[in-house]
Amino acid sequence: EKYDKGLAKSRQTFGQRLNALFANFRSVDEEFFDNLEEALIGADVGYEMAVKISDELRDEVKLRNAKSQQEVTQTIIEKLVDIYEAEGADEKNSLNFAEKGPTVILFVGVNGVGKTTTVGKLAHQYQQEGKKVVLAAADTFRAGAIEQLEVWGKRADVPVVTGKAKSDPAAVVYDAVQKVKQEQDDVLLVDTAGRLQNKVNLMNELEKIKRVIHREIPEAPHEVLLVLDATTGQNALIQAKQFKETTDVTGIVLTKLDGTAKGGIVLAIRSELKVPVKLVGLGEQIDDLQAFDPNEFVYGLFK
């Protein structure tokens, strides 16, 4: 249901283009596939992906002997889900949790993509499930970042470990890890800095944070989630590649899908990064975060 609302824009554009395709639909001919390719590129699935999808569709439509609009639409939907899943058949979309002891999840990504908001939303979800959650404000650099996380801590009713402005973020994380170990908490969510102007510096900082966590809890961090803003389209892909070069990213959080007509970026990210999308942000409110489900997502686009 959340997908319904959140994907309204993507659906409008993508759906409208498809409807236009079908408006003077006579048969699934070459022109149809050309137009479909254009609609896919418009939805930001990326050029190669668009060509791949329409090529595979061509075969599938022939194979199934799909003729009516309904049959063709159904084929498109199933093919999109297939392609998404085939890109990472052995990966799971759900978050990795510790079997015993605290789970540590690190959030990385450039400023403004929605990191802090996502941490707040997830904290709320886990808190509602009865888990003991702690947040760590490891962005000690950007003015206001600590306070912003504290606001989310209040909203979600979970404690936030902070340090002084400009203090060593790894020290804040160390304190937070000690706290969750002592209190036997369930989840530690770490919000990190996102200043990409000084890339080397930032990557070193993230490495240090990871080392501190790993030293205290050997199997942690259990997830390193890269947060990307869907409205930035192909730019999100470029950012992702930069992060992936230096940090082991285990999953993607794609935010602001409610604010874009480019929901197709999900497919591009999947195929180009080989990292699963695990969560999607569909609004600014505390419960506007969803586990990513490729099936629901693609159906949501076509409703």
The Cα 197–Cα 148 span in angstroms is 21
Binding of residue 111 to ligand GDP (CB under 6 A): yes
Sheet containing 103-108: give its strands across: 160-161, 133-138, 187-192, 103-108, 223-229, 251-255, 277-281, 289-291
The sign of the CA dihedral 149, 150, 154, 157 is: positive
User: Which CB sits closer to ligand GDP, 94 or 285?
Assistant: 285
* Among 108, 127, 116, 130, CA closest to 275: 108
The Cα 188–Cα 181 span in angstroms is 10
Is 135 within 8 Å of 163 (Cβ atoms)? no
Is 115 annotated as ligand-binding? yes
Is 98 within 8 Å of 184 (Cβ atoms)? no
Residue of closest CB approach to ligand GDP = 281
User: Which CB sits closer to ligand GDP, 212 or 279?
Assistant: 279
Site track for ligand GDP across 267-296, x = CB under 6 A:
--------------xxxx---x--------
Q: Tell me the closest approach of the beta carbon of residue 67 to ligand GDP, in angstroms.
A: 39
Site for ligand GDP in 9-68 (CB under 6 A): none
Q: Tell me the closest approach of the beta carbon of residue 115 to ligand GDP, in angstroms.
A: 3
Q: Tell me the closest approach of the beta carbon of residue 281 to ligand GDP, in angstroms.
A: 3
Is 256 annotated as ligand-binding? yes
Read off the tokens for 87.
């890109």
Binding of residue 144 to ligand GDP (CB under 6 A): no
Site for ligand GDP in 235-274 (CB under 6 A): 255-256, 258-259
Q: List residues bridging with 253 in a β-sheet.
A: 227, 279
Annotated binding site for GTP: 109-116, 191-195, 255-258
* Residues in contact with ligand GDP by the rule CB under 6 A: 109, 111-117, 194, 255-256, 258-259, 281-284, 288
